[in-house]
Structure 1
Amino acid sequence: MGKVVVAFDPLDEPVPAERRGQVPRMDPQGTYLITGGLGGFGAASAGWLAERGVRHLALVSRRGDRAPEAPAVLTELSDERIAAVLFPKAAGAVVLDQLLAGRDLETFLMYSSGTTVVGNIRQANYVAANLWLEALVRHRRGRGAAGQAIVWGAIGEAGYVARNELTNTLASAGIEPVSLHEAFAAADLLTGSGLEVAGVSRYNWGRMRRLLPALAAPRFSVLFPEHMKEADYTREEILRALAVMSVQDAARAVADALAHLMAEVLHMDHKELDHNRRLDEYGLDSLMIAELLVSVRRRFDIEIPPMELLRSGGTITDISHLVLLRLGLSGDSRAAADDDTTEPASSATRE
């Protein structure tokens, strides 16, 4: 039964298996020190530890009107500005490392930032400071001491992002904040994983790549699909771009995007797909249809029931007209848009 046969060839490489890490047990008699623990994400982390059974917390923080809340462009970063951000993190971490040297610590957990992965020219000092923390963790692990760094993306309910009401701004740029519940659920897993440095974040990489040219660098190439430049435009951007096309051109543009999505499901080159051939002739089964519909929903922000897809005729061309209908763009009575809004459509729907 079925169309898929799974066989294990004795000459194949062994299937890798990873044991799920156990959430470490916190010592209720121990004392846990949190630097920066009197506000924002640091204070929320204290609550997380308390929920895990910790009864003795030492919370310390540096505060004052001299703390540089607003980062400057790289060319505006003086030695003083760099030191003001780099010194507290780096020196504070080194002091803790030296004071606790030789002690059998249960954990030495550092909080780093996702900016160390993608960079941020306006926060070069902040990026450097967090990279220092990650390097210190690796140094500690190299000498057999406890150490781990969690590289956090945007946190949505506490800390700098929430305090400055940046949640919507970051989401529109492709940086989707993580809730405190999600963050600490991930921290539970990561603290038992044995990893030196691990990240927790939610990114819309297609949208971020348009705003951060650094993501086009070769070191990121293995992370993104070939047609990443087509993906992840908002529904409004797609609508504006398709609205200026004729019905035929819009259908062709959507069909090109559908061909890419279908090629991912079938593990084929999109150029090998005939837009007028029924998809079931390619061996599409119910699971593949479900996968395709999920991809269509993510790309166009529309819902298409499976039976409606099957009744449409079953070709890429037929489905493209169904997508246009769901978008409200079928027929000739569509609102025109300015010519300068056409770029998202071409990028979002064709290679």
Structure 2
Amino acid sequence: GAPGAGELVAELSAAGASVEVVAADVSRRSVVEGLVRGVPADRPLTAVVHTAGALADGVFEAQSAERLDEVFAPKADAAWHLHEATEHLGLAAFVLFSSGAGVFGSAGQSVYGAANAFLDGLARWRGSRGLPAVSLAWGLWAEASGLTGHLGEQDHARLARGGLAAMETDEALALFDAGLRSPEPVLVPTRLDRSALRAQAAGGELNPLLRGLVRAPRRTATAASAPTGDGRDALLRRLAAAGEAEQLRLLLDLVRASAAKVLGQSVDETVKPSQAFKDVGFDSLTSVRIRSSLTEATGVRLPATLVFDHPTPTAVAEHLRDRLGLAGAAPVPPVLLELDRLEQALAATAGTGDGLRSQVAARLEALTARWTEPAGEEPETAGVDVGAASDDELFDLIDNELGLS
């Protein structure tokens, strides 16, 4: 009853094959064993090609044992039953249709990725026992299937930004033939867009597994972390110095800019302040991406269900304001923000030699001693009363002590 089944039978029969189509739940061991026993002795079974699959996409916190079973049954359970039912038959080929989601990871597909990783592991294990096996971790096919037919323009745009290009069916089938001739138990037939990969590499976002495919700019630990740290520090400074209305405006701008980046749009055309995220195409995958973007920008750990719990940009901005302790709170003293900046600077020099570390430690100890001297005592510093110093004087003192001025 599957779409296209009749046409396929007719095509194969015209080519001289004897075809029988059976509806069977291959996730049940007894059914698989019955299928194998039913193969006629005069036409023995020589190959297995396992292509079944199911999706249960969603953020990890929304997964359950039932959803795991829904995905693992046709993938992992069926593959294992096929292995057990045929391992004694001397097959010429045992082919598993896996997915790149199990190799590279895919946002919102933790369960699907794990099920496909099981197939890859099964192929390697069979190979180690001298049994034929190849697991093909497919990339995206241009021709829509039961697993990809739901993808819209935004989904394809997201995949394209990730460097994943679609394969035409003829190319994919040629890769299938090549896979049967390869001695490797796990192969990744996929088409990659190197220009998109180079863009990811330039932004420090390239998947580590793909770093050998494009030339990436060299990034030191300090250089790699500085933009994020500086941007976050600047945001927190502006928020600390602003009133409540301005705080909300700044955070709302941040949320809408993050939404635009995730959706590949301009800020003007993205979700409006009181518009629901779901109305502009947000799903579990894009929700994870905006959560990650906002966490990076603010340093606040946010749940993966952020846009479901707070369904509009205004609601998310208000939540961020609360999590940052800004709602109704007094502005953070600038001296504490300066200490945060100092802490980041120290972290960036963690790999330096012992000489500098000792020098910095000695100056910090001296600064701490001066700050904690009882009120009324004359601090041992050149004309600076630490207890009564202004913010600017304290900043100058810190810079002088660390040799930053």
TM, length-normalised to structure 2: 0.39
Hey, which of these two has a bigger chunk of helix by percent?
2
Structure with the bigger RCO (C-alpha within 8 Å, sep 6+) is: 1
Q: Tell which structure's C-alpha radius of gyration is larger.
A: 2
